[in-house]
Structure 1
Amino acid sequence: MTDFRQRYSFLASPTWIGWFAVCILFMVVCYFLGQWQWDRRDAALDEIGTIQANYDQGPIPYSEARDIFASADEDDEWKSVELVGEYLAQDHLFARNRANSGQVGYEQVVPFREASTGDVVIISRGWLAPGSEDGSLPASNPEPPSGQAEVTVRIKPGEPEIGRDAPEGQLASIELDEIEDQVGYSVMGGAYGEMLSESPQPAEQPRGFARPSVDEGPHLGYSMQWIAFGMLSFVGWGYAARLQARSNDVAYAEEDDGELPAGIPKREVLRRARAERMRQQGRLTDEDAEDAWVDEHMAGR
């Protein structure tokens, strides 16, 4: 133990203590990055659970979902709702920068007045490909059914405001308060609907929405990787300390290398130096004593 403490006494120097503090700091940073990935995984699992619970359930009437459209909860996302009423097609808008199958286009957003209550629900009828050279307008604008229609939608919570401007008649996000400002009348402010079907069905419709993914992503693996990176910093510190101790042993041996025959490899110098130090400390093992006896008798030949 005494030999070990002496060999690694340099670890108490300010330089090595400083590097150890850096390892601790790095480990703390890696822990929080790993926790961030873990939280993202939890959020993904919650979303997957909501999809699995709601997506394939049968539609409910608007009378049961009215409170959801007024103030949506995350657990209500993807529920199917049947509405009867009419589209207010003259007030349609385009939500821009909407991805679909690797392309970026628009969603056609149309207010819908529910017949029994007079509530106006915002419905995204689907995706439209860009048509102009600069992509500033969709290629087409399919008309919704005129007159009374029966529509089945999936509930989507209103999107947050993202602080971006959009051309007139377009939206940077499906932010329901902004839509209300643009159309000039009250709309249900908690959720909107993604169209699933409508009757009567027009000859042309926007492209329907794909089923949401239930892949949780690589967050678990990333979380474990960050923790491993943090632990590896201590492994590297320990390895560097071992190399420094060996270097010190060589330096110690080279101070007394005048007593050794020329041409002895440094590995042998190191072994003999360590044996000499252990002999001085009274901790020479039987194997070391035997090696020392052989060295002593072989040197005289």
Structure 2
Amino acid sequence: MASNNRRIAALSIAGLRGRRMKLQYSQSLGASGWRLTQHFKPGWLPSLCVLCMLPLLVGLGCWQLVRAEEKRVLLAGQEARRQAPPIRLDALDLTSPPAFQRIRLHGHFEAAHSLLLDSRVHQGQVGVELLQPFLDQPSGRWVLINRGWLPWPDRRIPPRFVTPSGALDVLAWVYVSPGQPLVLAGERGTSWPRLTNRVELDAFWQELGRDGLSVELRLEPGPAALAVDWPIVSMSPEKHLGYAVQWFALAAALCALFIYFGIHQAREVRDAASHRHE
């Protein structure tokens, strides 16, 4: 009986100690929170701005990192295609031609239905890109080949170009646009050679009444090529990384300003309270 009483008393004492420790812990947490609010008072408006801006800045930085990786994959795929041996046109998958696939063609250009792709900049100069139909004799298919850039210094005078005559062996590669280009207008003329801002291949072949390939081919350097050093991507992966660093730096600066402002505001509140007590 006495042992049971001692056991009950011990359990009661342990329970009281546990409740006391919990009370002391909660009081210490409350004191810590109170001390934190005394040293950091950013205010609701700066806090709201940080909550809105910080995810946006971090998201933009991550998006630039993703774009940089996409450009690396694109450039690696382009380089691998360029190193691969060319194939004949009849061996190309016409349903979904792979970008940068090299094609070996034998046939002749047609000068009567040339297209001039307007507002093309090369090494700081404005000009046009010359696209001409090409009949590949082994496959019997028509393709539209971009022969490259040529200058157009005086808009009052039509650009001059020479179309090779006779059968030619040429190397070209499949160009697939990364996205819909931004243009100011559609067709700029109806006569030939036709000045245009955009090439609609299906409409082009339908107008000529021919069975043509629905993707543009671009010439590799050769006798029929003009200036053909096209940039593969409009922005390099390094530029995307630079933009990502800028967005992350802005996010870090925003956090630093938020912390500084909160500490500064808390100091001003403490100083004002001490002056009132005096």
TM-score when normalising by structure 1: 0.69
SS in 2 for 1:228: helix
Listed one character per residue, the Cα deviations across residues 135-161 of structure 1 (whole Å, up to 9, x for unaligned) are x732x1212223x22221122126746
**1:142 and 2:162 aligned:** yes
Conservation of the 8 A alpha-carbon contact between 1:87 and 1:111: yes
Query: Which residue number in structure 1 is paired with residue 254 of structure 2?
Result: 233
Query: Which residue number in structure 2 is paired with residue 192 of structure 1?
Result: 216
Match of residue 96, structure 2, among 52, 71, 76: 71
**1:170 and 2:195 aligned:** yes
Query: Which residue number in structure 2 is paired with residue 85 of structure 1?
Result: 107
Query: Which residue number in structure 2 is paired with residue 262 of structure 1?
Result: none
Query: Within 2, Cα distance between the matches of 1:52 and 1:206?
Result: 20
**1:100 and 2:125 aligned:** no
RMSD: 2.9
Conservation of the 8 A alpha-carbon contact between 1:27 and 1:227: no
**1:35 and 2:76 aligned:** no
Query: Which residue number in structure 1 is paired with residue 34 of structure 2?
Result: 5
- What's the CA shift for 1:9? 5.2
Query: Which residue number in structure 2 is paired with residue 284 of structure 1?
Result: none
- What's the CA shift for 1:182? 4.3
Match of residue 222, structure 1, among 243, 246, 255: 243
Q: Structure 1 residues 249, 10: closer, same or farther in 2, change over 3 A?
A: closer
Segments of structure 1 that go 5 or more residues without pairing to the other structure are: 258-301
Q: Structure 1 residues 192, 7: closer, same or farther in 2, change over 3 A?
A: closer
Conservation of the 8 A alpha-carbon contact between 1:95 and 1:106: yes
Which letter does structure 2 place at the counterpart of 1:51?
Q
Structure of greater relative contact order (alpha carbons < 8 Å, 6+ residues apart):
2
TM-score when normalising by structure 2: 0.74
Q: Structure 1 residues 178, 103: closer, same or farther in 2, change over 3 A?
A: farther
Which letter does structure 2 place at the counterpart of 1:172?
N
Match of residue 85, structure 2, among 43, 50, 58: 58
- What's the CA shift for 1:175? 3.1
Query: Within 1, Cα distance between the matches of 2:221 and 2:34?
Result: 77
**1:245 and 2:266 aligned:** yes
How many residues are matched? 241
Q: Structure 1 residues 91, 3: closer, same or farther in 2, change over 3 A?
A: closer
- What's the CA shift for 1:23? 0.5
Query: Which residue number in structure 2 is paired with residue 279 of structure 1?
Result: none
Percent identity between matched residues is 21
Which letter does structure 1 place at the counterpart of 2:171?
T
Conservation of the 8 A alpha-carbon contact between 1:142 and 1:206: no
Query: Within 2, Cα distance between the matches of 1:160 and 1:17?
Result: 43
- What's the CA shift for 1:226? 1.5
Match of residue 125, structure 1, among 126, 138, 147: 147
Which letter does structure 1 place at the counterpart of 2:173?
R
Q: Structure 1 residues 245, 162: closer, same or farther in 2, change over 3 A?
A: closer
Which letter does structure 1 place at the counterpart of 2:256?
V
Conservation of the 8 A alpha-carbon contact between 2:107 and 2:137: yes
Which letter does structure 2 place at the counterpart of 1:84?
H
Conservation of the 8 A alpha-carbon contact between 2:118 and 2:129: yes
Which letter does structure 2 place at the counterpart of 1:25?
C
Q: Structure 1 residues 101, 57: closer, same or farther in 2, change over 3 A?
A: farther
Listed one character per residue, the Cα deviations across residues 256-282 of structure 1 (whole Å, up to 9, x for unaligned) are 44xxxxxxxxxxxxxxxxxxxxxxxxx
Q: Structure 1 residues 122, 211: closer, same or farther in 2, change over 3 A?
A: closer
SS in 1 for 2:162: coil
Conservation of the 8 A alpha-carbon contact between 2:50 and 2:254: yes
Query: Within 2, Cα distance between the matches of 1:182 and 1:101?
Result: 34
Conservation of the 8 A alpha-carbon contact between 1:87 and 1:145: yes
Query: Within 1, Cα distance between the matches of 2:211 and 2:250?
Result: 53
SS in 2 for 1:116: coil
- What's the CA shift for 1:230? 2.2
Q: Structure 1 residues 6, 131: closer, same or farther in 2, change over 3 A?
A: closer
Segments of structure 2 that go 5 or more residues without pairing to the other structure are: 1-27
SS in 1 for 2:83: coil
**1:152 and 2:181 aligned:** no
- What's the CA shift for 1:212? 4.0
Q: Structure 1 residues 81, 98: closer, same or farther in 2, change over 3 A?
A: same
Conservation of the 8 A alpha-carbon contact between 1:151 and 1:197: no
